[in-house]
Amino acid sequence: MSQVAETAQPARMSSSSASASASASSDISSQAISSSTPLSLPWIERLVAFDTVSRNPNLNLIETVRDALREQGIEATLTHGDGGTWANLFATIPAHNGATNGGIVLSGHTDVVPVDGQKWDSDPFRPELRDGKLYGRGTCDMKGFIGAALTLVPQMQRTQLARPIHLALSFGEEIGCIGAPLMIEDLLKRGIKPEGCIVGEPTSMRPVIAHKGINVYQCCVRGHAAHSSLTPKGLNAIEYAARLICYIRDMADQFRAQGPFDEFYDVPFTTSQTSTIEGGNAVNTVPAECRFAFEFRNLPTLDPQTIFTRIEQYARETLLPKMKLEHESAAIEFTKLSSAPGLDAAEEAAITQLVRALTANRDKQKVAYGTEAGLFSRAGIPSIVCGPGDIQQAHKANEFVALEQLVQCERFLGKFIHSMSVDAHAH
Domain co-membership, 49 together with 156: yes
Q: Do 365 and 313 have their domain in common?
A: no
Note the pLDDT tens digit of each residue in 71-127. Answer: 999 999 999 998 899 999 999 999 999 999 999 999 999 999 999 999 999 999 999
Q: Report how far Cα 343 is from the mean position of its chain's Cα atoms.
A: 10
206 and 114 part of one domain: yes
Q: Are residues 419 and 280 in the same domain?
A: no
pLDDT of residue 24: 41
Cα 190 to Cα 163, 167, 178, distances in angstroms: 18, 16, 20
| Domain C-terminal end among 340, 374, 395 | 340
Task: Quote the pLDDT of residue 27.
Answer: 57
Do 192 and 219 belong to one domain? no
Q: Quote the CA–CA distance of 305 and 315 in Å, as a whole number.
A: 15
* pLDDT score of 25: 38
Q: Kindly report the length of the chain.
A: 427
Radius of gyration, CA atoms only, the chain: 24
For residue 217, the Cα-to-chain-centroid distance in whole angstroms is 18
Average pLDDT, the chain: 92
DSSP H stretches of helix in 118-199: 144-151, 153-158, 180-189
SS3 (DSSP) at 271:
strand
Which residues, listed in sequence order, are joined to residue 226 by a DSSP beta bridge?
286
Examine the domain organization and report whether 325 and 241 are in the same domain: yes
CB 388 within 8 A of CB 202: yes
- Distant-in-sequence contacts of 126-132, Cβ < 8 A, 24+ apart: 126/49, 127/44, 127/45, 127/48, 127/49, 129/403, 132/36, 132/402, 132/403, 132/404
Domain boundary residue among 340, 358, 390? 340
pLDDT for position 23: 38
Helix, strand, coil percentages, rounded to 5, for the chain:
40, 25, 35
For residues 68 and 182, membership in a common domain is answered with yes
CATH number of the domain where residue 142 is located = 3.40.630.10
All residue ranges of the chain with pLDDT < 50 are 1-26, 29-30, 32-34
We report the CATH number of the domain holding residue 308 as 3.30.70.360
Say what the pLDDT of residue 162 is.
97
Q: Are residues 197 and 220 in the same domain?
A: no
Tally of domains in the chain: 2
Q: What is the dihedral of CA 36, 22, 389, 365, to 10 degrees?
A: -150
Q: Which domain-ending residue is among 313, 340, 367?
A: 340
**Both 189 and 225 in a single domain?**
no
Are residues 156 and 280 located together in one domain of the fold? no
Give, in order, the Cα–Cα distances in Å from 354 to each of 2, 145, 162, 320.
19, 18, 15, 52
80 and 183, same domain (yes or no): yes
Same domain, 206 and 260: no
Calpha distance 6→382 (Å, rounded): 11
Backbone phi, psi, residue 18, to 5°:
-65, -40
- The alpha helices in 190-319, defined as continuous H runs, are 237-258, 304-314
**Residue 218: its pLDDT value, please?**
98
From CA 426, how far away is CA 415, in angstroms rounded?
16
Say how far residue 252 (Cα) sits from the centre of its chain: 23
Q: 237 lies in which domain range?
A: 213-340
Contact 376, 410 (CB under 8 A): no
